[in-house]
Amino acid sequence: MQNVLDKVDRLMRLRNYSPQTRKAYLFYIKEYIAFSENKGSSESQLIVEDFLLSKHERRQSPQTINLALNALKFLYREVLGERKKINLRFSKRNKKLPIVLSREEVRKVIEAVENHKYRLMIALAYACGLRVSEVVRLKAGDLDLDELMLHIKGAKGKKDRISILPHKLLNDLRNLIAGKSSNDLLFPSNRGRELSTTSVQKMFRKALAKTGIKKEATFHSLRHSFATHLLENGTDVRYVQALLGHSNIRTTQIYTQVTNPGLKNIKSPLI
């Protein structure tokens, strides 16, 4: 097994796959190999089907099953060199609306964080529409305080993009980058290294619990809220798409369902 996993990891590194994708693919391939050892069949298609069905039976999400399928296709096609195609379609995704915090709820979450560095991270994530992985990787040179612009480098899909900076955080950001070189992390750990995304997400959950907000929000809800509030302010969806870094505008248009003003103006018939 280890020999196969080493080959998978080596090839993914050569193709510059992200650390998150490499970790996920290796996990599902390792899980699949252990699963296949207990199967009598040598037909890869049938084993893959049984493996994915076992995930369905354990009520794993369509997103998880699709990721596992992608990992196995990579294993068979790219590493093992099987010419026979795995003929499976992707599982249908759950069509859930994003969880969005109101402006007042965002304010409450920010104010619930006692640590100044973490409080600024939450405020910046909301103000710029950042993913948690993007926040922890920000460097001092990514900020253009004169133009109120933020350069997000190597984001999801290895894409760079530009986002906006709020004037409200200008003084905090100036103080933060004072004495830093352009390549220094904006929010380093106490040891000067990159903070783990897990620690930042944990901090967000603690702040959310303090506010008493009952929504099942996550750190990523700040990004959802950024997009929704921009649309509510009348920003064109194409500009929101660019700020979020979405390749397809249909991904961005889901926020128009959350912020539909026509629905909000309808009165319930219950008097």
Region of poorest pLDDT, from 90-94, 117-121, 263-267: 90-94
Region of poorest pLDDT, from 27-31, 77-81, 117-121: 77-81
Give the C-alpha distances (Å, rounded to integers) separating 146 from 42, 104, 226: 63, 28, 22
- pLDDT for the residue numbered 40: 62
131 is catalytic: yes
**Any idea what DSSP says for residue 151?**
E
* Structural domains in the chain plus CATH codes: 2-79 (1.10.150.130), 103-260 (1.10.443.10)
255 is catalytic: yes
Q: Which of 107, 156, 161, 180 is catalytic?
A: 156
Q: Which of 25, 55, 126, 131 is catalytic?
A: 131
How confident is the prediction for the chain on average, in pLDDT? 89
pLDDT tens per residue, range 47-98: 888 999 898 889 888 888 889 999 998 998 888 887 666 777 766 666 778 9
The alpha carbon of 7 is separated from its chain's Cα centroid by a whole number of angstroms, namely 27
246 is catalytic: yes
Q: Which of 139, 223, 224, 229 is catalytic?
A: 223
- For the beta carbon of residue 260, count every other beta carbon within 10 angstroms: 12
Say what angle helices 220-232 and 237-244 make with each other, to 10 degrees.
Answer: 160
Of 125, 86, 83, whose CA–CA distance to 106 is shortest? 125
Element (H, E) at 61: none
| Structure-token match 């009598």, residue found | 40
d(Cα 221, Cα 88) in Å, to the nearest integer?
32
Q: Which of 107, 161, 180, 220 is catalytic?
A: 220
- For the beta carbon of residue 170, count every other beta carbon within 10 angstroms: 14
- pLDDT for the residue numbered 193: 92
pLDDT tens per residue, range 202-250: 999 999 999 999 999 999 999 999 999 999 999 999 999 999 999 889 8
156 is catalytic: yes
223 is catalytic: yes
